[in-house]
Homo-oligomer: A and B are copies of this chain.
Amino acid sequence: MLFASILAGGTGTRMNLGDTPKQFLPLADKPMIIHTLDKFCLCGEFDAIYVGVHQDWTDYTQSLLGKYHLGEACPIKVVAGGETRNDTILNTLQAIEADYGVADDHLVVSHDAARPFVSLRTIKANIACVQGGSACDTVIAAADTIVHSNLSGDAIVDIPDRAQMFQGQTPQSFRIKDFEASYAALSDVQKAGLTDACKVLLAAGLPVKLVRGDSSNIKLTTAMDYKLAQMMIAVHESDVNDEAGD
């Protein structure tokens, strides 16, 4: 079976727009998280979608699902997130297992709620890869030269070949059992350091393939990102209107 785990556990308010975590801020006609969930619903290939949100925001998220008529095409379940990103992933995986049991062929596509511009093409490429038997990470070619510093961050150790350097995005997709086993095998120190799901898999020696994302699949973190996102939506809508007028 195929599941989505949408990560919205943060209470990040770095956008300085009050106390609302960024994933609930409006983008055009609806909250950011609804744009993201729409993409996963539209995909049509998931047996169920799980959303991990901070425990203070579960009721509000549930109310949004009703307001925007989500969950009609495919079940969406709201789960309380954990302290860390990996804890939130684990909470959604445990909820999936509580509802659907444990099986070797239970696969999950995990994605940041704060990346609402993910394309259907990228989601489907993740699904194809994980159904083909490999965990995968969504990346784009590094836009800038990447510089590797020494530990104190004051001098260059290496400027690696840019052709092999990528910027990580999400989705990240894997077998539920593989992630759980890999995470359980980590020490507490490793758990604190390995905040990236694919890094957890790599630490356990599991291969992770690369899926190409798009530069528009940005993570909205700062106030400037949020302004850029509003501009991207406006450009997109004017393109759609132009096409409709042709």
Q: State the A residues within 8 Å of B (CB).
A: 137, 139, 142-151, 153-161, 163-169, 193, 196, 198-199, 202, 207-210, 215-216, 219, 221-222, 224, 227-228, 231-232, 235
Please measure, in the bound complex, the distance between the C-alpha atom of A15 and the C-alpha atom of B209, giving whole angstroms. Answer: 32
Known contacts A156-B198, A156-B202: does B167 contact A148 (CB below 8 Å)?
Answer: no
Q: Is the interface of A mostly helix, strand, loop or mixed?
A: mixed
Asked if A153 and B163 sit within 8 Å, CB to CB, the answer is: yes
Asked if A210 and B155 sit within 8 Å, CB to CB, the answer is: yes
Of the candidates B145, B166, B193, B215, the one whose C-beta lies within 8 Å of that of A167 is B145
Q: How many copies does the complex hold?
A: 2
Known contacts A147-B137, A148-B160: does B227 contact A155 (CB below 8 Å)?
Answer: no
Please measure, in the bound complex, the distance between the C-alpha atom of A151 and the C-alpha atom of B161, giving whole angstroms. Answer: 10
Known contacts A231-B228, A231-B231: does B146 contact A166 (CB below 8 Å)?
Answer: yes
A182 to chain B, nearest CB (A): 13
Asked if B159 and A198 sit within 8 Å, CB to CB, the answer is: yes
Note all chain B residues with C-beta closer than 8 A to A163.
153
Q: Which chain B residue lies CB-closest to A161? A: B193
Note all chain B residues with C-beta closer than 8 A to A157.
164
A167 to chain B, nearest CB (A): 4
Note all chain B residues with C-beta closer than 8 A to A216.
224
Asked if B150 and A208 sit within 8 Å, CB to CB, the answer is: no
Asked if A153 and B147 sit within 8 Å, CB to CB, the answer is: no
A135 to chain B, nearest CB (A): 9
Note all chain B residues with C-beta closer than 8 A to A215.
222, 224
In the A-B complex, the 5 residue pairs with the smallest Cβ-Cβ separation, listed nearest first, are A145-B168, A144-B167, A147-B166, A156-B208, A159-B199
